[in-house]
Amino acid sequence: MGISKLTNVSNISELKLSHQLNVPEKTYSASFADSLQKEYSKSGIQFSKHAAQRMQSRGMEMTPGLLSDLNQAMQRARDKGSKDAVLIGDKSAFIVNIPNNTIVTMMTEREMKENIFTNIDSAVLF
């Protein structure tokens, strides 16, 4: 927004509204999801946009160690014939569609205590 536009704004709420109209709300989330997918697609794990958004909003960092742990947990679930599993770690849980290698959603340790896992056929602790 240039200086000339600022002189036409009479109050802060108009400035905020003007900014909100010029910036698409989901631009950052979509680019985060795309970046996450591109970075970790080499591992074979896919991230749904929902999972990427939840990771971003919770400040969850995908480290090489966590990615390795998720790969191993997914393989253990696959070996047992699982289709939809919850992978439970020390600080987070991931709902995963095993045949598609896709992390559908995730939650933090605090959120795990407040939720019930449904529509899964197995749980893997990692």
Strand (E) or helix (H) holding 113? none
Which of 4-13, 42-51, 64-73, 111-120 shows the lowest per-residue confidence on average (mean pLDDT)? Answer: 4-13
pTM: 0.68
User: pLDDT of 67-125, one tens digit each?
Assistant: 999 999 999 999 999 999 999 999 999 999 999 999 999 999 999 988 899 999 999 99
Instruction: Quote the pLDDT of residue 33.
Output: 58
DSSP, collapsed to helix, strand or coil, labels residue 122 as: strand
Neighbouring residues of 87: CB distance < 8 A, sequence distance ≥ 6: 70, 73, 74, 77, 93, 94, 96, 123, 124, 126
More confident residue, 41 or 60: 60
Q: How many domains does the chain have?
A: 1
Q: Which domain holds residue 34?
A: 3-125
